Structure 1
Amino acid sequence: MSKIPSLVDLLQAGAHFGHQTSKWHPKMDKYIFGSRQGIHIINLEETQKSLEDALAFAKQTTARGGIVLFVGTKKQAAPIVEKAATFAGMPFVGKRWLGGTLTNFAVINQVIKKFKDLKRKQEKGELGKYTKFEQQKFNEQIIKLEDGVGGIRELGRIPEAIFILDIRKDKTALNEAKRRGVKIIALVDTNVDPREVDYPIPCNDDAVKAIDLLANAVAGACKEGHDEWEAARARLGSTLTGAHQKPIVS
Structure 2
Amino acid sequence: GASSSVFSASSLASSLLSPFSSAVGLASSGFVSAAFSFTGDSTSFFTSSATTSACSVLGPLQHADYFGLGKLLSVRELFEARVHLGHKEGLLNDLMRPYLFGSRLGYHVIDLDKTLQHLFCALNFIAHVAYRNGIILFVTRHQQTAHMVEETARESHEFAHTRWWRPGLFTNSTAQFGTVTRLPDTVILLSTLDSVFEEHLAVKECNKLLIPTVAIMDTNCDPRLITYPIPGNDDTPAAIQLYCHLFKTAILRGKERRKKDEEAAARQQQEAAGTASDASKQPTSA
Q: Does residue 165 of structure 1 match 2:190?
A: yes
Alignment of 1:82-161 (within 5 A): 82-110=150-178, 157-161=182-186
Percent same amino acid at aligned positions?
A: 32
SS in 2 for 1:70: strand
Shift of 1:108: 3.6
* Count, aligned residues: 194
Task: Sort the Cα spacing of 1:107 and 1:77 in 2 relative to 1 into closer, same or farther, 3 A.
Answer: farther
Which residue identity does 1:33 align to in structure 2? F
Q: Does residue 35 of structure 1 match 2:103?
A: yes
Deviation string, structure 1 residues 45-93 (Cα, Å, up to 9, x no partner): 1111100000110011111121111111211221111111112111111
Shift of 1:193: 1.7
Shift of 1:177: 0.7
Which residue identity does 2:167 align to in structure 1? G
Partner of 1:130: none
Q: For residues 208 and 186 of structure 2, what CA distance do their matches in structure 1 show?
A: 13
- Structure scoring higher RCO (CA < 8 A, sep ≥ 6) equals 1
Q: For residues 72 and 224 of structure 2, what CA distance do their matches in structure 1 show?
A: 23
Q: For residues 174 and 25 of structure 1, what CA distance do their matches in structure 2 show?
A: 17
Q: Does residue 195 of structure 1 match 2:217?
A: no
Which residue identity does 1:58 align to in structure 2? I
Q: For residues 191 and 96 of structure 1, what CA distance do their matches in structure 2 show?
A: 21
Q: For residues 108 and 228 of structure 1, what CA distance do their matches in structure 2 show?
A: 35
Q: For residues 10 and 31 of structure 1, what CA distance do their matches in structure 2 show?
A: 15
Shift of 1:18: 0.3
Greater displacement, 198-207 / 94-103:
94-103
Task: Sort the Cα spacing of 1:105 and 1:49 in 2 relative to 1 into closer, same or farther, 3 A.
Answer: same
Q: For residues 39 and 24 of structure 1, what CA distance do their matches in structure 2 show?
A: 10
Gap runs ≥5 in structure 1: 114-155, 238-250
Contact 1:28/1:192 (CA < 8 Å) preserved in 2? yes
Greater displacement, 225-234 / 4-13:
225-234
Shift of 1:234: 6.8
Equivalent residue for 1:67, pick from 122, 135, 140: 135
Which residue identity does 2:184 align to in structure 1? P
TM-score, length-scaled by structure 2: 0.63
Gap runs ≥5 in structure 2: 1-67, 267-286
Q: For residues 231 and 72 of structure 2, what CA distance do their matches in structure 1 show?
A: 14
Larger Rg: 2
Structure with the higher fraction of residues in helix conformation = 1
Deviation string, structure 1 residues 213-235 (Cα, Å, up to 9, x no partner): 01221121112212334556677
Shift of 1:95: 2.5
Contact 1:33/1:41 (CA < 8 Å) preserved in 2? yes
Partner of 2:88: 20
Contact 1:4/1:51 (CA < 8 Å) preserved in 2? no
Task: Sort the Cα spacing of 1:96 and 1:228 in 2 relative to 1 into closer, same or farther, 3 A.
Answer: farther
Q: For residues 91 and 143 of structure 2, what CA distance do their matches in structure 1 show?
A: 22
